[in-house]
Structure 1
Amino acid sequence: MSEQPVPSTVPVSPAVPAPGRHGRLAVDFFAAQLVVNVTVGGVSQAMLPNQMASIAPADKVAAFGLVSGIGSLVGMLVQPLAGALSDRTRSRFGRRAPWLAVGAVGAGALIVGLGLCSSLLLVALCWAVAQVFIAAFSAPLLAVMPDRTPPGKRGLFSGLAGIAVFAGGVVGVGFAARLADRIPFGYSAFGLLLALGGLVFAWRLREHPATHADRPAVSLRTLARAMWVSPRRHPDFAWAFGARFALFLGYSAILGYQLFIMQDYIGLSRDAANDALSINTIILAVTTLAGLLPAGMLSDRLGRRKPIIMVSSLVIAASAVPPLLSPTLPALTVSIALAGLGAGCYLSVDQALMTLLLPRAEDNGKDLGVLNIANAGAQALAPMVASLVIGSAAGYRGLFVMAIVLVTVAAAAIVPIKSAR
């Protein structure tokens, strides 16, 4: 029998790995998420603040806010674009692997370069460009889940990603804190970690070649149009976007103002508030981790995501009730514990649900990047919204009421979703 010719159009999504290979992919996926979050957490929360204190000691708060704000904005806007470009990439190495490799090496090199910057302008520019490459790595990394895993395994992968995000930030900050007096060395360590870790993951991903697949047109106009996902044509995607935005806005508003809540609402001294904040942070870490993996695995077993997300959201909403009714430290500690448990369960299942609502498989990278705008945008907006509410007649009680309403709305927004259970 003669050999069949290679068709001109083949699916662009890689084949889902055989059941026995999901374990290796899960380990690699977790490791890649851990590497990028250790790096970003350590650099953004410890290395940059210490560098700003060295460069502009009198204006370190404003300088750090400017640098981190510009970087966050760039990363938020570039991630869906990077995802769209990876969706359209055609190479013998696949669609995602080239972007993972280039993103990791580029971001790593720029992070190393941050240690050589001696002015605010150079730091801001270098960190903003580094965010471009971090987005080029993160967007295709997120797309690996819908690309390579069946729906029944996505709760596990989503839970692993949540653990990596949370644990990575803690480990990164802890490591960076020990390098406060060795800024160039610290940046070099984080940069090399990301570059090497990203290259190893890209190599081990072993995507199918995408050289024979249709190559969609790539232009500024087509990419700009691709960024828009019609709520009329894809209502489930729109509901998911709105739910995620509302939840992160309400959740982040309270967590970001914990210290001021303790001082101005509860009445603790500055030292006592800082001591309590350290304890509450540990409690938040423990309860969040306690909810992450079990909820994701339970959702896989049940084959249902919506009920777990709705219950998790309502737990987060309920966490704002104790301090609303009682302006005391024990009430706030109970609130933090409940919020952590709810957030852990939510984070482990939310990403799995979102992968089931993506409009088209060939746009997974772009659409996950668009969804990321919901949580990144909400977290960026939360401090401004919270400050307006606290400064009004409603005060801190108004902040708790706002959080309850927003997160309850987020739970309700899951109900109309029809294309996933």
Structure 2
Amino acid sequence: MPGRVAERPDPHGIPERPVMADEPSMTRLSEEPQRWTTSIAVHYEGKKPMSRYIRWYLIVSIATSMVWAAVNGILMPNQIQLIEFGQFFLGPDAGVDLPALTELGRAVAAGQVTPTAEQARQLGLLSDFETARAASLGLVTTVSAILVMLLQPVIGVLSDRTRSKLGRRAPWILYAGLFGAVLLAGVRFAPSIAILVVLWSLTELTLNVAGNPLQATVADRVPRERRGRVTSWTSLGAIIGGLLGGIGAGALFGMIGLDFYFILALFVALTVVLFVIRNRDESSVDMVREPFKWGAFFRGYASALKARDYRWLWISRVLFFFGYSTSTVLSLYMLQSYITPAMSAAEASATAPLISIASLPATLIAVSISGRLSDRLGVRKPFIIVASVLMAASLAVPLISPTLPGLFIQSIVTGLAFGIYLPVDNAMFIDVLPDPETAGRDLGLSIVATNLGQSLAPALAAVMVAVTGGYAGVWVAAVVLVAGATFTVAPIRERRARNAAQVQV
């Protein structure tokens, strides 16, 4: 059994990560301060346990990413569209052909056609419907993202302090993952926008409660010189999961519709259980901790932002995801109302996954190389700058060519940018942690950066549609925001890792 734990007081009132008094099965943190962030965890030195950990982390990452891609890209927009359609197109209007009505509106706007009184009435309904669906989608995704953003660091701190036979992180991963799966199945039956807001907010929060401690296991268990490799694999899982979620939901929507929620829920439940069983952690039952002080916690909630490099990286991530999410939140509606020719809801649901698939080759190549190459070179910042520039350039393509081929080109370049960005940015956040002893809290704050960008994006996209009456402004805003991410990462002071040359790729 692990020995008792001694603690040093934290100036913010939150106990620092404890140090084991005797750890025969683990490398002492004090002996290798640059490699490990904590001693209250199993450390993966051997190839077999590391490979097993990466494999199961990859599978969990695929499962959770399938949820975000399928729900945000296909299921939620269609669910909201069905609810809002019933509010505007009633009686004889219930059978209206939306793509045909959209093309009629474009012909009228171009002065090619003079609408009849009945057509003018339906065009008015179409305009109100498009504004309403964008606003409702923005409301659902914004409220849920803000809730997650506010509570994420709290979960990080609580997981830092958790005492259990399963370790500090596993209880959160297991129980939150299972509860999140149950809530996800419940989202299927939401009959109104208000109930959908509540159910999806609770679902996203709960799944993120599992995700934050999962990410913290990288900081706990993996040595610094191998984190780029690990985050490359986990980022690959996010990409594969995103593709599978979008493809599956889009391909099966015509057959099972919103019942795809049940498939996602089952997969999440299975993977979190198997991850915990197959990657057991050191017990934290004997960890000694000081009484938790809420006042000190809230004062130290964002204390990591006082560190210069962490702060700039955090701001850069906010802008990157703000811009990217602004361009993606209305993707399904873009296919129906932005590109020429317009598509039906069924055609858009089937086409959206194909656009994602087009990005796969570039993404796989980039994600398999960027993390390991950044380990080998001992630097992260240049990779993030290149990824941000590529992303901004890709988001300008649909402005030049508002067509389906234009969206395919945009997707390919975006996939390349994301493949470079994800593993390196995740690894760099671990590198710039101001205090490795509070990794759970501060990595939770890094997730807040992602959630903040994602939470602001739907509102901005909806406002752009309402103000401009179209979708071109959405792409303009996305380009400007991602370009800003390039400039905010530039001030980070980065030193080449001393053992970079020894890393195997």
More displaced 10-residue stretch of structure 1: 283-292 or 39-48: 39-48
- What corresponds to 2:342 in structure 1? 270
Tell me the CA shift for residue 220 of structure 1: 3.4
Q: Is the 8 A contact 1:250 1:403 kept in 2?
A: yes
The answer as to whether partners of 1:47 and 1:180 remain within 8 angstroms in 2 is no
1:103 aligns to what? 176
* Superposed displacement of residue 327, structure 1: 7.1
2:383 to 304, 308, 332: 308
Question: Could you tell me which of 27, 31, 35 is aligned with 2:55?
Answer: 27
Alpha-carbon RMSD: 3.7
2:439 equivalent in structure 1: 364
Q: CA deviation at 1:235?
A: 0.8
SS of residue matched to 2:370:
helix
Q: Is the 8 A contact 2:73 2:332 kept in 1?
A: no
2:299 to 225, 245, 270: 225
SS in 2 for 1:304: coil
Provide Cα deviations, 1:10-42, integer angstroms capped at 9, x if missing partner: 525314211322211111111111122223433
Which of residues 60, 67, 72 is equivalent to 2:145?
Answer: 72
- Change in 2 beyond 3 A, CA 1:409/1:73: closer
1:247 deviation in Å?
A: 2.0
Secondary structure in 2 matching 1:319: helix
Aligned ranges 1:98-177 → 2 under 5 Å: 98-115=171-188, 121-177=194-250
Cα deviations by residue, 1:374-418 (Å, 9 ceiling, x for unpaired) = 22222332344456667889x988766655554343223223222
Residues 96-147 of structure 1: CA distance to partner in whole angstroms, max 9, x if unpaired? 0111111112112222344555565544433332233212201101111111
Worse-superposed segment, 82-91 or 359-368: 359-368
Distance in 2 between the 1:212 and 1:56 partners?
54
Structure number with greater Rg is 2
The answer on 1:243 being equivalent to 2:271 is: no
* DSSP-derived class of the 1:215 partner: coil
1:316-355 paired onto structure 2 within 5 Å: 316-320=391-395, 333-355=408-430
Aligned partner of 2:274 in structure 1 is: 200
Q: Give the structure 1 partner of residue 70 of structure 2.
A: 42
- Of residues 36, 44, 47 in structure 2, which corresponds to 1:17? 44
Unaligned runs of 5+ in 2: 8-17, 20-38, 88-131, 497-505
CA displacement at 1:180 relative to structure 2: 6.2
User: Size of the alignment, in residue pairs?
Assistant: 416
- How far apart in 2 are the matches of 1:38 and 1:203? 22
TM-score, structure 2 normalization? 0.70
Pick closer, same or farther for the CA change 1:384–1:195 going to 2, 3 Å.
closer
Report how far residue 214 of structure 1 moved. 3.2
User: Separation in 2 of the partners of 1:55 and 1:165?
Assistant: 30
Change (3 A) 1:180 1:55: farther
CA deviation after TM superposition for structure 1 residue 278, in Å: 6.5
In structure 2, distance between residues paired with 1:144 and 1:350: 16
- Say if 1:112 and 1:191, in contact at 8 Å, map to a contact too: yes
Alignment map for 1:404-415 (pairs within 5 Å): 404-415=479-490
Q: Which runs of 5+ in 1 are unaligned?
A: none
Alpha-carbon spacing, 1:330–1:390, altered in 2? closer, same or farther (3 Å): same
Which is further off, 125-134 or 193-202?
125-134
- One-letter code of the match for 2:281? E
Superposition deviation, residue 210 in structure 1: 1.8
